[in-house]
Amino acid sequence: MTIDDSPPAARIEAALKQRFGADVPADPSLRGLDDLARIAEHRSHRRYTADAVEPTLLRLLFASALSAPSKSDLQQADVVHVADRGKVARIVELIPDMPWIAQAPVVLVFCGNNRRIRQIGEWRGKPFANDHLDHFMNAAVDAGIVMTTFIRAAEAVGLGCCPISAIRNHPDAVSRLLELPDWVFPVAGLTVGWPAEAGRITPRLPLDVTVHVDRFDDSAVRENIDAYDRRRHELMPYRKQRHLKLYGEAPFYGWSEDKARQYCVPERADFGAFIRGKRFRLD
């Protein structure tokens, strides 16, 4: 892997130009530009070297990730380190189109944990009076924040990561495999290791689509997404098209066509039932 030794502000501007297709100036006098550069240059990594991630480093990353903000200091995120390679193999069996998971030195599953606060209420003789959808969301968001912070910490030391939302395709099986009790549920997996290749910056929707001022405005969203489709196709064309039997081969296959096809068939329709089976009320 090559290391870009350009000034941080120049790295940020170059990365964001590639990411968003627009100039986003970075003042060279700002503090924290090294951190911003790592964030701007984020890449997902699915190929890793054979080098191990030392337990002491992994523990440092866990501590850093769990230093993240938490809703009302409830601390409703847990991490399961799937160190048993037999269990990793079982996860790969559940997600056969992601065989690279098996080669990752570290496999983690980030979980929402609403169990602990309920236990605390019982120990302190207090009722749990907030048994509704919001407490599921609080735990899920806490887990997402912790995973994002873990990725940021891992990238700061040179590691690469790739989130795995497909964990939720088989929540019951994953829950049984990891022995997750009631009110604890998987949010996403994450592979971690030393990158075997540099990876690529994935283009994102333009800021005009996703950033709003004072009011939500999607009046130009179709035109902006059409332009994004063309820009992304130039930089990172899709290698294959989804659901060819249903829709045939499109002459132009952009991001929006891919995502429309992805969500045209049911996916994770049983996840609500799984969460209710964990004794959450979703009222």
Q: Same domain for 137 and 21?
A: no
By the 8 A CB rule, do 12 and 33 touch?
Answer: yes
Residues in the chain: 283
Label residue 3 by pLDDT band (50, 70, 90): low
The whole-number pLDDT of residue 2 equals 47
Say whether pLDDT at 168 is over 70. Answer: yes
Q: Same domain for 70 and 157?
A: yes
Q: Same domain for 147 and 232?
A: no
Q: Same domain for 229 and 98?
A: no
Amino acid (1-letter code) at residue 202: T
Label residue 1 by pLDDT band (50, 70, 90): very low
Alpha-carbon dihedral 134, 71, 56, 99, rounded to 10 degrees: 30
For residues 16-31, average pLDDT? 97
Element (H, E) at 111: strand 106-113
Whole-angstrom distance, CA of residue 106 vs CA of residue 61:
12
Task: Give me 162's structure tokens.
Answer: 């790739």
For residues 100-114, average pLDDT? 97
Is 282 part of any domain? Answer: no
Is 65 part of any domain? Answer: yes
**Nearby residues of 159 by Cβ (< 8 Å), 6 or more positions away:** 53, 61, 192, 193, 194, 195
Is 214 part of any domain? Answer: yes
Task: Give me 133's structure tokens.
Answer: 């959808």
Q: Same domain for 107 and 168?
A: yes
Is 269 part of any domain? Answer: no
3-state DSSP assignment of residue 100: helix
Domain that holds residue 24: 8-38
Q: Same domain for 132 and 62?
A: yes
The whole-number pLDDT of residue 74 equals 95
By the 8 A CB rule, do 16 and 41 touch?
Answer: no
Answer positive or negative: Cα dihedral of 262, 205, 101, 197: positive
Of 172, 199, 226, which marks where a domain is finished?
199
Our count of domains for the chain comes to: 3
Q: Same domain for 190 and 213?
A: no
The whole-model pTM stands at 0.94
Is 91 part of any domain? Answer: yes
- CA proximity to 178, closest of 55, 61, 68, 82: 82
**Percentage of the residues of the chain whose pLDDT score is greater than 90:** 98
Q: Same domain for 109 and 147?
A: yes
**Percentage of the residues of the chain whose pLDDT score is greater than 70:** 99
Is 280 part of any domain? Answer: no
Domain CATH number, residue 191 = 3.40.109.10
Strand blocks (E) in the chain: 77-81, 106-113, 160-164, 184-193
3-state DSSP assignment of residue 197: coil
By the 8 A CB rule, do 62 and 150 touch?
Answer: yes
**Nearby residues of 133 by Cβ (< 8 Å), 6 or more positions away:** 281, 282, 283
Is 235 part of any domain? Answer: yes
Q: Same domain for 191 and 90?
A: yes
Is 1 part of any domain? Answer: no
Q: Same domain for 80 and 184?
A: yes
For residues 151-178, average pLDDT? 97
| Sheet of strand 160-164: strand arrangement | 77-81, 106-113, 184-193, 160-164
Q: Same domain for 61 and 158?
A: yes
Q: Same domain for 70 and 194?
A: yes
Say whether pLDDT at 41 is over 70. Answer: yes
